[in-house]
Amino acid sequence: MKPSKWAQGALGIAVAIVTLWSLGPFLWQVITSLKPPAEVVSVPPTYWPSSPTIDSYFKIFENRPFATYILNSFLVALGTTVLCTAIGTLAAYAFARLSLPGGKWAVRTILFIALFPPTILVVPLYKLIKFFGLLNNPLGLVLPYTALNLPFTIWVLMTFFKQIPRDIEEAAAVDGLSRWGTLIKIIAPLSAPAIATTGILIFIFSWNEFLLALTFMSRDAARTVPVGIALLSGVTVYEVPWDQISAAVVLTTIPVVLMVLAFQRRIIEGLTAGAVKG
């Protein structure tokens, strides 16, 4: 039964309201970044800048090495994503298809470890990173981020691999493909939506992570974007440059938004995979 025009109109209005509600904080950051410093703290607040300016976008690069922060975040997030998806794909396929001794208990242990909040792991991780001489080194973040994201990656991909019919792998084995060949040439392409979805989520987590980056990267040239934004300061210690902070938030959100839009179809396929049987 086709919905009436009134129902379609009501649905469109509801979607628009939810969209504006979700975009509200980001839109406010955009508006704040375009305000002069005096107008940012004016009372009553203005909901649109009287004299829009983009000076705050230039100031964040003049006052701090913000380009370095962005580069560091990109390298850390990309390295974590590549390493985590590569290891996670192999581990998930092994748990899903191979009869490993104690495999079920290993999966349960991985999920149990994932329940620990990163906060309680800061001190032992700091000692390990310091012992291996990786403080103020991108690897000092890539390796912990990979370890923290592996349980999620393994669980998601393992669930997806179990939904792929075994007949496909048996047919590949008859054709002479090895287990490695089957994984690389058949299973991985079929699982591309799930791999892309988990990879993007890992990239976003690594891009936004703050606690470990603040703890392990004490040198200014090694800091990432979230720490760089938190340490933005004004002319005096009592001044908070909200216009520059908003500009930095907008500037560092754009790459993530563009990446999500570029892989939008893959993300939807990965999230809806297995929802319909048949």
Q: pLDDT per residue over 219-263, tens digit each? A: 989 999 999 888 887 655 567 788 888 899 888 888 888 877 777
pLDDT at 276: 44
C-alpha dist (Å) from residue 151 to 49, 79, 93, 178: 46, 17, 13, 27
Decide if 259 is inside a domain: no
The residue behind tokens 């310091």 is: 130
pLDDT at 267: 62
Decide if 262 is inside a domain: no
Q: Can you tell me the mean pLDDT for 79-107?
A: 85
Decide if 223 is inside a domain: yes
Calpha distance 250→242 (Å, rounded): 12
Confidence at 278, pLDDT banded by 50, 70, 90: very low
Percent of the chain whose pLDDT exceeds 70? 91
3-state DSSP assignment of residue 164: coil
Residues whose CB falls within 8 Å of the CB of residue 92, separated by 6 or more in sequence, listed in order: 153, 154, 155, 156, 157, 158, 160, 161
Instruction: Assess whether pLDDT exceeds 60 at residue 159.
Output: yes
pLDDT at 257: 81
Confidence at 274, pLDDT banded by 50, 70, 90: very low
Decide if 83 is inside a domain: yes
Q: Residue 212 belongs to what domain range?
A: 64-231
pLDDT at 36: 86
pLDDT at 277: 45
Instruction: Assess whether pLDDT exceeds 90 at residue 116.
Output: no
Q: pLDDT tens for residues 129-157?
A: 999 999 999 999 999 999 889 988 888 88
Calpha distance 14→2 (Å, rounded): 19
pLDDT at 24: 84
Q: Which residue has the higher pLDDT, 99 or 251?
A: 251
Confidence at 1, pLDDT banded by 50, 70, 90: low
Q: Which of 76-90, 147-161, 253-267 has the highest mean pLDDT?
A: 76-90
Residue 174 sits in a domain of what CATH number? 1.10.3720.10
* Mean pLDDT, the chain, integer: 83
Decide if 240 is inside a domain: no
**Around Cβ 19, how many Cβ atoms within 10 Å?**
10
Calpha distance 247→253 (Å, rounded): 10
**Around Cβ 49, how many Cβ atoms within 10 Å?**
16
Q: Can you tell me the mean pLDDT for 70-97?
A: 91
Which amino acid is located at 163 in the chain? Q
Q: Can you tell me the mean pLDDT for 210-225?
A: 92
pLDDT at 270: 55
Phi–psi pair at 51, nearest 5 degrees: -135, 85
Decide if 236 is inside a domain: no
Confidence at 275, pLDDT banded by 50, 70, 90: very low
Calpha distance 181→163 (Å, rounded): 19
Q: Can you tell me the mean pLDDT for 93-119?
A: 78
The residue behind tokens 């999230």 is: 271
Decide if 175 is inside a domain: yes
Decide if 38 is inside a domain: no
Structural domain total, the chain = 1
